[in-house]
Amino acid sequence: MQIPKLDLTETPGIYYSLAYGLGALLFINMNRQRQSRFRYVVFALVWAVQFIFMFFTYRIPQHLFPLCVAIEILLTYAMIRSCCDIDRVRCGYYTVRAFMFGEFAASLEWQLFYYGLTALGIPLRMWFNVTLLVVVHSVTFYIFLVLEQRYGSRERSLIITDREFRTALMIALATYSLSNVSYVLKNTPFSSHFTMEMFTIRTLADLGGVALLFGYHMVLQDHHSRAEAANLQKVLDEQLLHYQISKDTIDLVNRKYHDLKHQIAYLKSGITEEEKLSMLDEMEEEIRTYEHQNRTGNQVVDTILMEKSLLCEKLSITLHVIADGTAMDFLSTVEICSLLGNALDNAIEAVRDLPDPGQRQIRLYIERRRNFLRLLEENRFDGTTRQISPDTGLPETTKEDRENHGYGLCSMENIAESHDGSMYIDEKEGWFRLQILIPFPQSSVKSIYTS
């Protein structure tokens, strides 16, 4: 096949291929990558195929132009999909953005190159073209990278649906059609017969498309953040309401036990039979045991543990607790309710349906570990490893209504991170393990050592 001569009125296809690959790399860097060691080998092969394809389809007949563009987009999609562990819709969304980034970068570079030749009189030399290519692409994609890192920091938690993908695709198609109308249709109100004007229309249209897609992405992130915050607040409000109801219930139980204790004392004063006295002593001992259990030094912790203990007893679940409730004094009531409530609710959900009652075990430890609050929850589970969400990095909810569930772990992680702490999750040998470490405030640390 004869290699076509260079036509300065059109940007060579390999320039676009270079820009598409750089755009794909940009979004690969922003998303969770596959564990395969050969992912970049596949990426390089697909990129090479795109280079070859665009080299040999340079100056193709106009009726084949849409088909070639579709193939270029599919190859860009394959590059991102080969490296990123994301679903097809999210991959399609970032492919659209990478394609528009590449369109703008290639158009800008060639327009500046053409301007240098025609307006500035720079000789047609390879060194000028290569230097301009490196400079323009380096600056352009560096700006893209900075913007994405600064304003796209929540990429992994952003939910992309078919609707978001279709909207981004429509923006890109409209922009691309406007930017290339002069090359396909000569007699329209938006076409031009002058080369520099054609370049200007194309570059400015591509810039507008990039800006529109970036603005749309910011709107999506803002909407998602608001929805996530609302759902998390809903979880916190429900936990607080649950705590208040539980506290009233526990207070009622305490009053009943207190009355029962006085009744037993009264009965003992008028009964002389040894057997009845022994039975009454045993009842009194049980009451005394009840009085001392779940006395951690923090009323909120005590209330939650009492409520969960009663539920575990009803479900034949063994709940083992070693807790220093005072270690959580620096947290708000809402935060304590969310941490303990979510941890124990998830644990109870995991063990309640285990067929062997001996396997229904939950362990909870709350302690001071040097300058940290350490909350450790362990429970048995059925051995089925839950799928890790690519958006949050946390186990996905097993409930069907995923839109309104699965926020418990996110809420706990957010609370830990808001106090410069961290949350760790592990599943091993039939045990699920959740550990939260939160540093004590400096004032609390000082009081520990001065008291």
- Long-range interactions of 33-42: CB distance < 8 A, separation 24+: 33/83, 33/84, 33/85, 34/82, 34/83, 34/84, 34/85, 35/85, 39/82, 39/83, 40/83, 42/82, 42/83
Give the domain-ending residue among 213, 230, 247. 230
86-133 residue pLDDT tens:
889 989 999 999 999 999 999 898 888 888 888 787 877 778 888 888
- Residue 265 counted as domain residue: no
> pLDDT value at position 125?
78
Residues ≥6 apart with Cβ < 8 Å to 42: 82, 83
Indicate whether 321 and 439 sit together in one domain. yes
- Residue pointed to by tokens 């305490």: 254
Q: Between these two residues, 396 and 80, which has the higher pLDDT value?
A: 80
- Residue 258 counted as domain residue: no
Indicate whether 204 and 110 sit together in one domain. yes
> What is the pLDDT of the chain when averaged over all its residues?
79
276 pLDDT above the threshold of 50: yes
402-427 residue pLDDT tens:
443 356 788 898 899 989 999 999 88
Range of the domain at 390: 296-450
> pLDDT value at position 390?
46
Looking at the 3D structure of the chain, how many domains does it have? 2
- Residue 270 counted as domain residue: no
Indicate whether 314 and 410 sit together in one domain. yes
> pLDDT value at position 266?
64
Indicate whether 349 and 208 sit together in one domain. no
352-387 residue pLDDT tens:
889 888 899 999 999 998 899 999 999 988 776 554
> pLDDT value at position 339?
92
Indicate whether 338 and 423 sit together in one domain. yes
- Paired strand residues for 131: none
- Residue 44 counted as domain residue: yes
Indicate whether 79 and 206 sit together in one domain. yes
- Residue 332 counted as domain residue: yes
Q: Between these two residues, 185 and 442, which has the higher pLDDT value?
A: 442
Indicate whether 217 and 306 sit together in one domain. no
Give the domain-ending residue among 230, 260, 283. 230
Give the domain-ending residue among 230, 254, 274. 230
CATH number at residue 415: 3.30.565.10
> pLDDT value at position 139?
92
C-alpha 339/C-alpha 54 separation (Å) is 55
Average pLDDT over residues 120-149: 85
- Residue 321 counted as domain residue: yes
Among 172-181, 189-198, 363-372, the range scoring the smallest mean pLDDT is 189-198
> Percentage of residues in the chain with pLDDT exceeding 90?
27
- Residue 247 counted as domain residue: no
Task: For residue 104, give the amino acid letter.
Answer: F
Indicate whether 307 and 219 sit together in one domain. no
Q: Between these two residues, 188 and 230, which has the higher pLDDT value?
A: 230
CB atoms within 10 A of CB 322: 11
> pLDDT value at position 227?
75
261 pLDDT above the threshold of 80: no
pTM equals 0.56
- Residue 268 counted as domain residue: no
Indicate whether 189 and 313 sit together in one domain. no
